[in-house]
Chains A and B, each alone.
Chain A
Amino acid sequence: MILRGRSFAVGVGIAVGFALVESSVGAVAPVYPEADWAKGDPARHGFDPSFGTELDAYAFAKDAPFTTDGLLVLHGGEILYERYARDYTAKMRHYAWSMTKSVSMALFGIAEGEGKIRRDDPISKWVPEADAKSFTGVTIANLISMSTGILWREGYEASPFDSHVVTALYRTRASFDFGLYRTEITKRVAPVGERFNYASGETNLMMKALGRSLGPAYADFPWNKLFTPIGMKSAVFERDGSGNFVGSSYLEATPRDFARFGYLFLRDGNWRGKQIVPAEWVKMAATPSPAMAHLRLDHRPADSPYGYGWWLNRAFPRAQIGKPFPSFPDDMYFASGHDGQELVVVPSWDVVVVRVGNDRFGKRLDLERIGKILKDARAKSAPAKGSVR
C-alpha cells in the first residue's frame, strides 16, 4: 500500500514534470520591449533576409507617387525592418491622423472595463446637447462603428469647402468644441446602425462622452491607463478648445511607439501579464460591426470594411467588396490615417507593421504590396533552427 502510494506520487511527479517541460516548450512567453525594441535577425524569425531590400525598393522608391517617412516591421516582439526618410528618425514623432481613432476606441474600452461608461449607453445620457430627435437610439457603439445614420461629410484637401471635418478642425468657433459641433449636424440619412459612414465627428462625440464620464481624471487618462503602462513615452495627444482630446486625429508619437500600441492589440490587450485593454475590446476591433451586414452597392464604404475603430481585411460579396489585401490573411486588421499612416496587426503571422508618410492627394502606398513582400519572405524562408516563427 505504501509502495503503491509512493509509485503514485512518483508517477504524478513525472507527469507534472513532463507537463511543465511541454508547456515551456509549446507556449513561448511573449517578448515585450524593454526601454526600446530589440532588433531581430529575419532568418531566425523565418523571413527571407532579402525582404528588406524589397521593402526598400517599393516603399522608398524615388519615383514613387507616394512619400514614405518611416516603415517598421515587427515579428515576435522584435524589429526585423526599420527605415526612415525625409529627415525623419526613429526618435521623431509622426502624425497618426486617423490612426488616432483606434487609440480612442481602446481608451473607451479601458473605461468601460472599469465600469465608468458603457458602449450601449445612449449618447444623450452623457451629451444631452445632442438633439433628442436625431440622436434618439444612437448609442456609443454606433459612434465607434460609424453607423449613426446622421449626415457627416468627411473630406480633406480634395473638398475642403464642403467638409464637416475641415470645419470642425479649423473654423474658429467650431474647433473650440469638436464633440458638440457634431451634435449640430442633425440630418438623418439612414436608420441607426444600418449605414456605415466614416465620420471623425462620431469619434469626437464619443470622446466628449468619455470625458464627461471620467470627470477630472480624463486629462491624464490616456497616459495613466494606456501610454505609460505600455511605454509610449513619446505620445502627444492634442485637445480642442474645450479640453476634449481630438480623438479622431490629433495623436503624435514615434513609429516605435505606434508599434507598441499595435503590439498591445497583437497580444490581446495584455502587456507583461497585465490586461490593459479588455480582451473583449481587442476581439471587437477585428469583428465586422453590425452595420457591415447592411452593406449594399449603393452605400458601400470607400475603402475597407470596418469593425470598431479599426479597418478589416474582409470580403463582403453581397456588396461586391473583395478582400482589400489578398496577400494578408483574413485576420489582419489595421488603423489608417490621412496621408498614408498605417498600423497593421496580423495575429496569425505575429506581425505588426507601422508605416508613416505624407501621401498627399490620394496617391497612397499600397498595403497589398507590403503584404505580398512579407508573405513571399515567409514562404521563401524555411524555419531555421531556433526559429521564433
Chain B
Amino acid sequence: MKKFAKNALKFVVIVFCAGWLYTKLFWPSTFTDAPEILANLYAKELCTCRFVVGQSLERCYENHAIIMRPTTLEIDEAARTVSVRVLWATAEAKVVSERFGCGRK
C-alpha cells in the first residue's frame, strides 16, 4: 500500500512536470500566465462591479466568474480596494477617482 502511494505520488509529479514543460514550450504564454491574468481580471472587474456599478459581491462573481475563483479575496469597502490571490499570483485594484473608476495598483 505504501509502495502504491509512493508510485502514485511519483506519477502525479511526473505528469505535473511534463504538463508544465509542455505548456511552457508549446502553449501561448498566456496559458502559463493564467494565474496572473485571473488575479488581474478579478481585481479589476470585481473593483468596478462593486464600487462603480454598485452590485453585490455575489452578483459580481456571477458576472465575472471564469475558470476558477480566487484563492483569497479581500475587499476593503472603506478604502474601495480589492486584493486578490490566484494560486501564486496576486493583484490589487482600487477606485482611482469618481471619473476614472478602478485601476490596478
Residues in chain A within 8 A of chain B (CB atoms):
86-88, 92-95, 157, 160-163, 166-167, 169-172, 175, 223, 235-241, 250, 252, 339, 358
14 pairs from A and B in contact (CB 8 Å cutoff) = A86-B59, A87-B59, A92-B54, A95-B53, A157-B66, A162-B28, A167-B30, A169-B40, A171-B36, A172-B104, A238-B102, A238-B103, A239-B100, A239-B103
Closest to B67 in A: A160
Q: Contacts A161-B30, A358-B63 given: A170-B41 contact, CB under 8 Å?
A: yes
Pair B40/A175 contact, Cβ less than 8 Å: yes
Pair B54/A166 contact, Cβ less than 8 Å: no
Partner of B99, one of A93, A160, A161, A223: A223
Pair B52/A252 contact, Cβ less than 8 Å: yes
Interface string of B36-69 (1 = CB under 8 A from A): 1110110010001000111110010011001100
How many angstroms from the CA of A339 to the CA of B53 in the assembled complex? 15
Which residues of B are found within 8 Å of A171, using beta-carbon distances?
Answer: 30, 33, 36-37, 40
Pair B52/A162 contact, Cβ less than 8 Å: no
Pair A237/B99 contact, Cβ less than 8 Å: yes
Pair B99/A87 contact, Cβ less than 8 Å: no
Partner of B48, one of A167, A170, A252, A358: A252
Pair B66/A94 contact, Cβ less than 8 Å: no
How many angstroms from the CA of A240 to the CA of B59 in the assembled complex? 25
Partner of B30, one of A88, A160, A223, A237: A160
Pair B62/A241 contact, Cβ less than 8 Å: no
Q: Contacts A86-B59, A161-B34, A171-B30 given: A238-B53 contact, CB under 8 Å?
A: no
Interface string of B74-105 (1 = CB under 8 A from A): 00000000000000000100001011111110
Min distance, Cβ B101 to any Cβ of chain A, angstroms: 4
How many angstroms from the CA of A172 to the CA of B38 in the assembled complex? 11
Partner of A241, one of B27, B102, B104: B104
Closest to B47 in A: A238
Pair A161/B101 contact, Cβ less than 8 Å: no
How many angstroms from the CA of A166 to the CA of B28 in the assembled complex? 12
How many angstroms from the CA of A95 to the CA of B44 in the assembled complex? 13
How many angstroms from the CA of A169 to the CA of B34 in the assembled complex? 13
B20 interfacial contact with A, CB 8 Å:
no
Pair A161/B27 contact, Cβ less than 8 Å: yes
Pair B30/A250 contact, Cβ less than 8 Å: no
How many angstroms from the CA of A172 to the CA of B102 in the assembled complex? 15
Closest to A91 in B: B54
Partner of B54, one of A93, A170, A175, A240: A93
Which residues of A are found within 8 Å of B11, using beta-carbon distances?
Answer: none
Which residues of B are found within 8 Å of A86, using beta-carbon distances?
Answer: 59
How many angstroms from the CA of A301 to the CA of B102 in the assembled complex? 32
Which residues of A are found within 8 Å of B16, using beta-carbon distances?
Answer: none
Min distance, Cβ A122 to any Cβ of chain B, angstroms: 30
How many angstroms from the CA of A75 to the CA of B99 in the assembled complex? 30
Which residues of A are found within 8 Å of B96, using beta-carbon distances?
Answer: 238-239
Pair A170/B44 contact, Cβ less than 8 Å: yes
Min distance, Cβ A152 to any Cβ of chain B, angstroms: 14
Pair A87/B48 contact, Cβ less than 8 Å: no
Min distance, Cβ A139 to any Cβ of chain B, angstroms: 29
Closest to B23 in A: A161
Min distance, Cβ B66 to any Cβ of chain A, angstroms: 6
Which residues of A are found within 8 Å of B36, using beta-carbon distances?
Answer: 170-172
Closest to A358 in B: B63
Most buried by A among B38, B53, B59: B53
Q: Contacts A93-B54, A170-B44, A252-B53 given: A163-B30 contact, CB under 8 Å?
A: yes
